[in-house]
Amino acid sequence: MSEITIAPIQKMANVAGTAQLVALWLHGKSKQTQQTYEKDVRYFVGFLLGQKPDAVRLNDLDLRTVTMNDVQAYCDYLETTVSQVTGKPLSADTRKRRTLAVKSLLRFGHEIEYLRYNAAIKIKAPVPKNDLAERILSELEIATMIALTTNIRDKLLLRFLYATGARVGEVESLRWKDIRPNRDGQGQVTLFGKGDKTRVVIIPNALYNDLKVFRNNAPSDSPVFLSRQKGEALKIRQIENIIRKAGERAGIKGVSPHWLRHSHASHSLDRGAPPQLVQHSLGHRSLETTSKYAHAKPNQSSSLYVMPV
C-alpha cells in the first residue's frame, strides 16, 4: 500500500503572541498611525495588567483570554480617566479613538482566526459632541497669526498649512522635490498622506514665490521645513508647538495645525469653492466629510424665521 500524504494544516497567519498580532494589524499603515494605535493598545493592555502603558510588554497579555467584560470595564475606566497632560478628564474624541483601536484589533484578530471570539463586537464607541465650529478660525484670526509671526520659516509654515489644507504629517515628510511649477506657471505640491493616498494641490503664486526664495539652493531631497538645531525635518510635535505659539500671540488658545486645515475648508466653501474641489484638495474620502464644514457655519436656520426676541 502506498503511504497517504497528509497536507499540512493551513493557517491564514502565524501569530505567536499579542505583539505579532499588533504588528500584522498595523502593517501598511502610516508611521504616525502605527505609533498612535500601538499606544492606544498599550493603554488597554496596561489597564488589564495593572501597569503603566509605557512599561507593558504586549506579549504579557494573551488576547485570547480577553472577554467582553474586560472591554466593558476598560470603557468604564476611560470615562473616569484624567489626562496626565491636561489634568482634565479624557475628551470624548480620545475615548472614542482608544475604544475604536481596541475594537479594530480584536476584530482583526478574529478575522484571521487567531481569536476564537471578537470580545468587542457589541461594544459601542462614545459619540463625541460635534465641536467643529469651535475649531474654525476666522480669516482675521489667521491673518493676525501670520502677521505676528516674525520668523520666516514659521511664517511660511503657517501660510502653507492654511493655503494648502495639508495635514501636519504630510508637512513633516515634505521635500523640495514635492514642490514644483505646474503647466500654468503656478506652483503645486504633491502631498502623500492619510490612507497612503497622493494628491496634488495648487500653491498660490505669492506663497510659491516666497517658498522659492526660502529654498535658496537646498537639494531636492532636503526637507522643506528644517529644524534649526538638528538640520532635519521638523517633527510633528515641533510643528504643533509653532502653531500653538502663533495662536497665543494672536490671543487664541489651543490652536493646532488641524485648525488651519479646518479653516481652509470653511473659508474656501464660504468663498464659493465647489464642495467636490475642496474634497479633492483636502483628500477627504467622501463628500459627506466636506459637507460638515458647511453645516458647522450655516447661513440659513429656522431660528431666522421666529419672532424677534
Quote the longest CA-to-CA distance of the chain: 98
For 65, list phi and psi in degrees, rounded to 5: -100, -5
- Set of cell numbers at residue 56: 507593558
For 167, list phi and psi in degrees, rounded to 5: -80, 155
For the question of residue 159 being annotated catalytic, the response is no
Residue 158 CA to residue 168 CA, distance in Å, equals: 11
For the question of residue 284 being annotated catalytic, the response is yes
Judge whether 58 and 22 are in contact, CB under 8 Å. Answer: yes
For the question of residue 258 being annotated catalytic, the response is yes
For 190, list phi and psi in degrees, rounded to 5: -100, 120
Residue tagged active-site, from 37, 74, 114, 293: 293
Residue tagged active-site, from 167, 262, 264, 267: 167
Residue 106 CA to residue 53 CA, distance in Å, equals: 18
Residue tagged active-site, from 199, 258, 280, 292: 258
- Please count the CA atoms within 13 angstroms of the CA of 234 that sit on its side-chain side: 20
For the question of residue 167 being annotated catalytic, the response is yes
- Set of cell numbers at residue 251: 490671543
Residue tagged active-site, from 42, 95, 98, 284: 284
- Please count the CA atoms within 13 angstroms of the CA of 212 that sit on its side-chain side: 12
For the question of residue 194 being annotated catalytic, the response is yes
Residue tagged active-site, from 261, 262, 264, 267: 261
Type of residue numbered 36: T
Residue tagged active-site, from 64, 97, 194, 199: 194
- Set of cell numbers at residue 82: 484624567
Residue 281 CA to residue 30 CA, distance in Å, equals: 20
Which residues belong to the active site? Answer: 167, 194, 258, 261, 284, 293
